[in-house]
Chain A
Amino acid sequence: MKKIYLGCFLLGTFFANAQTEIDAIMMSKNRFCVGSVYQYSSWDKYWEGTNKRENLNLGKVSTQSIGVMGNYGITDKLNVLFNIPYVITNASAGTMKGQEGIQDLSLTVKYMPFEKKIKNATYSLYALGGYSTPVSNYTVDYLPLSLGLGSQVASFRLMGDYQRGKFFTTVSGAYLFRSNVTIERNTYYTNEMHYTNEVDMPNVININARAGYRSDRLIAEAIVDNWVTQAGGFDITQNNMPFPSNTMNALRLGTNIKYTLKKIPELAFIGGTNYVIDGRNVGQSTSFYGGAFYVINFNKKAK
């Protein structure tokens, strides 16, 4: 018998991935912004269904990820972004072995079809299309220590931004289509038995709202993020193992800062933190991240 009863950590990495693309900032034409972000995320309590508990056989479950990401301006209004993280998981107690490896490559096309200045305010609209896919054959059915959920995800996001002076608000909503995943078992029980190694993954809606201060040099914002699994998921029952197609919901609060150096305007640093205030079948994780980005200008006559 397995004796470890587990929760889920996965949202941490998803959120880290999402940080750079959900902002209302476009890379201008022929500029390539490349950087790296390190994130540390951990929890010692999780929601087993709606029941919040701890698990002495896991202790503190942590996920570290270091991602390489980039954003290229095809035009001022059209950017492509990528992100690829290396992930390390660990449980501080119990006997279960942590995992490490490359997780999912995500690619995003970000398009700004509308931007208009009315008096002191700027209004803009964005459409984002994303695709992510596992790039290593990590074990999916090993929650909460697996590197990811193994699903190919297509996401479609609409985003609106309002800026007045140095203050702004950005609101976006996304629908994430998740492909079936293949697990190593050929039979599994959700709330019924399935005689297949394929798992139907419920889709997800994500709502993200952020507001704060934004100038050329400094962005400081507060973030509310809500991740809601759609129909088809199910809850972890008491003392059971988590499963990739569990209903995983998380309401998260966070802050994010980006600072661009005065003397080297190509170089910017980011940092932030977020915390899950309510969830379902996920760990109550606290995350910290920090990274640096550098902009390379491919315009021959730039400056």
Chain B
Amino acid sequence: MKNKIQITISKSLLILLVAFNYACNDDITERNNQFPQLNPTNADELAGTWKPILLTSPDEFPLDAPIATTLPAYTREINEIKSYQANITKDQQAIIDYWSVGGVLRWNEIMRTLVAKHNRPPFQNPDGTYPIPSGANPFANPEFPFSNPPYSARAYAYVSAAQYDAMIAAWHYKKLYNRPAPFVVDATLPVLIPKSSLPSYPCEDAVLAGVTVELLKLLFPTEIAFIQEKAEEEKLYRIISGANVRSDVDAGISLGKKIAAKFIARASTDGAGAAVGNQDLWTLLETQTAATGETPWKSLELPARPPMLPLFGKVKSFLMTPAMVVASRPGPPPSTKSEQFAKELAEIKAFSEDNSKKHQEIVTFWADGVGTYTPPGHWNAIAAEAFVEQNYSEVRWARNMALLNLSMMDAAISCWDAKFFYFNPRPTQMDSSIKTTTGIPNFPAYVSGHSTFSGAACTVLSHILPAKTENFKALAREASDSRMFGAIHYRSDCEKGLILGETVGNFAVARAKIDGAE
């Protein structure tokens, strides 16, 4: 009897152990590992004529003609490919699998990673003040940058816009020089990825790597080693896979770098460096709002932290003039002394107390706070997953990402303009009994950043993919609502934010209609 029990127990324990070991080793499938190899349905052969963002023309930066494919030097480049292919290591195969999904997509993912990694507010000094990250001394404590939403919106925009211009230039020179791909020159050469019908000089992936690396060096200076490593992988992938010879790649890098320089020059004078402000400005914002009889915004952090990038509204947009920013600015929020305000505050207080699981899920899903890729990054992820299904060419990928990110940079500029023009308090500042289910952002409430980003992204993406309009609208609405459910924004912030987002999104849509891609 006892023996039987012993055996039964031992057996059950063993089964449990095996079952759990199995259950716990269950591999997690990640969405971005499921993307197929890029095989564009339309090569967009005429993209060299599309309208660039910053370049005056696609050949603003010259590119030397390639050597003829009949020369022995070219044959030696083909031999390089063959020598790699003779012995492809596991690591090299992984590099091919990773990059062949698409260069614009992978660089966009890399950027999201860098944003998430650096999206951490500086820790306070012993005296309760806060140090400011410095691009001139990026490795100091705190590291540069603090990639908060405005910073990251601008970063995504610069990289995407520069990639788009670089792709137009690449397409221009491809057509101009019309150099056949190595697998066309040597029909015996195996190709490990879908064959492109386009001329191969310059290599589009190398142009992308060239332009992106230079911009990321500026935007994430502590990550240069990591960024370079990724670029080397992308170059290697093109050669091993048989898509390009080394001279296609070298030319691409050189062209990309030249284009990057123009964007870097713009970035250094667009006003972002001064957006943090100083004590005089922070005080002025408070006193000028108090002078209107309204309650000025106050940091709810301990110790109180200066507001996030109060002058970001003055950053130079790609698509809007300063006058257009002012003209798009929403009217004032309800006065804190008004009945309307009391009603909105009561609504948020009710959300803070509702303990709704559904609301909490929405709040958490859209929180995109510290340590995340921010709301613009979230919309980049949404866009990327929608674009993957479309099998775009690299130039169209770049164009669509540029439109999206230019509009979200404008959302950041316009939203920050409104926030610091009105400088109004968060719900918890007006009623300290309002507890929140996500962190309270350290800047004024009106209008909601999430709502503005989402309104802009939804407008642009709905233009690009009209069949998904309802889906994007629902996402934007939910992102906006999440800020009320989390008890950190009033209804006016969210509703007016969505409208402001739509307004600025339409500037990007207007451009989309005339850029030659539609």
Chain A positions near chain B (C-beta within 8 angstroms): 1-5, 56-57, 75, 77-78, 93-98, 109, 111, 113, 127, 129, 131, 137, 139, 141-142, 152, 154, 156, 177-180, 183-189, 192-196, 198-201, 203, 237-241
Contacts and interface: CB of A to CB of B under 8 A. Distances in A.
B373 A187 contact: yes
Interface stretch (B113-121, B184-192, B255-263, B287-295): B113-121
18 contacts: A1-B369, A3-B301, A3-B305, A3-B370, A57-B302, A96-B436, A96-B439, A109-B12, A111-B9, A139-B364, A142-B360, A184-B365, A187-B373, A189-B371, A193-B113, A193-B373, A239-B123, A240-B370
B68 interface: no
A194 to B, nearest CB: 6
Contacts of A200: 28
Interface stretch (B18-26, B153-161, B193-201, B453-461): B18-26
Given A177-B21, A184-B364, A239-B122, A97 B437 contact: yes
Contacts of A196: 28-31
Contact of B5 (A3, A75, A98): A75
A238 B124 CA distance: 11
A176 B372 CA distance: 29
A97 B352 contact: yes
Given A95-B300, A97-B435, A194 B30 contact: yes
Interface in B99-117: 109, 112-113, 116-117
B303 interface: yes
A189 B373 contact: yes
Contacts of A111: 9
B370 A154 contact: no
Interface in B240-261: none
B229 to A, nearest CB: 14
A127 B13 contact: yes
Contact of B16 (A97, A131, A239): A131
Contacts of B117: 189
Contact of A95 (B23, B116, B428): B428
B402 interface: no
Contact of A184 (B19, B123, B360, B487): B360
A277 to B, nearest CB: 25
Given A184-B364, A196-B28, A5 B302 contact: no
A290 B6 CA distance: 35
B9 to A, nearest CB: 5
Contacts of A57: 301-302
Given A156-B13, A193-B109, A195-B30, A2 B367 contact: yes
- What 3 A-B pairs have minimum CB-CB distances, sorted nearest first? A2-B439, A2-B369, A97-B435
B462 interface: no
Contact of A185 (B29, B30, B360, B365): B365
B412 to A, nearest CB: 13
B330 interface: no
B16 A129 contact: yes
A93 to B, nearest CB: 6
A241 B17 contact: no
B441 interface: yes
Given A97-B352, A109-B13, 14 more contacts: A2-B367, A2-B439, A3-B121, A3-B441, A95-B435, A97-B435, A129-B16, A139-B357, A189-B116, A189-B373, A196-B31, A239-B120, A239-B121, A241-B371
A241 B122 CA distance: 13
Interface residues of B, number: 63
Nearest to B113: A193
A136 to B, nearest CB: 9
Given A1-B369, A184-B360, A177 B24 contact: yes
Contacts of A141: 364
Interface of B: 2, 5-6, 9, 12-13, 16-17, 19-21, 23-24, 26, 28-33, 109, 112-113, 116-117, 119-123, 148-149, 300-303, 305, 308, 352, 357, 360-361, 364-365, 367, 369-373, 378, 381, 428, 434-442, 487
A196 to B, nearest CB: 5
Contacts of B21: 177
Given A2-B441, A97-B352, A241 B370 contact: yes
A185 to B, nearest CB: 6
Contacts of B6: 113
B30 A239 contact: no
B440 A3 contact: yes
Contact of B113 (A3, A152, A183, A192): A192
B184 to A, nearest CB: 36
Contacts of A113: 6
A75 B16 CA distance: 21
Contacts of B300: 3, 95
Nearest to B305: A3
A2 B370 contact: yes
Contacts of A154: 16-17, 19-20, 24
B35 to A, nearest CB: 10
Contacts of A98: 435
A95 B299 CA distance: 12
The listed residue with most A CB atoms (<10 A of its CB), out of B26, B300, B302, is: B302
A57 B32 CA distance: 36
A1 B357 contact: no
A142 B9 contact: no
Given A177-B24, A196-B30, A238 B123 contact: yes
Contacts of B28: 180, 194, 196, 198-200
Nearest to A57: B302
Nearest to B363: A184
A79 to B, nearest CB: 11
A96 B435 contact: yes
B17 A2 contact: no
A220 to B, nearest CB: 31
Contacts of B381: 187, 195
A77 B5 CA distance: 10
A241 B369 contact: yes
The listed residue with most A CB atoms (<10 A of its CB), out of B17, B32, B112, B439, is: B439
A179 to B, nearest CB: 6
A187 B13 CA distance: 36
Contacts of A185: 364-365, 367, 372
A182 B116 CA distance: 20
B302 A56 contact: yes
B441 A1 contact: yes
Contacts of B305: 3
A2 B438 contact: yes
A195 B116 contact: no
A263 B328 CA distance: 81
The listed residue with most A CB atoms (<10 A of its CB), out of B2, B24, B122, is: B24
Contacts of A129: 12-13, 16-17
Nearest to A141: B364
B365 A186 contact: yes
A190 to B, nearest CB: 10
B26 A180 contact: yes
B439 A4 contact: yes
Contacts of A193: 109, 112-113, 116, 373
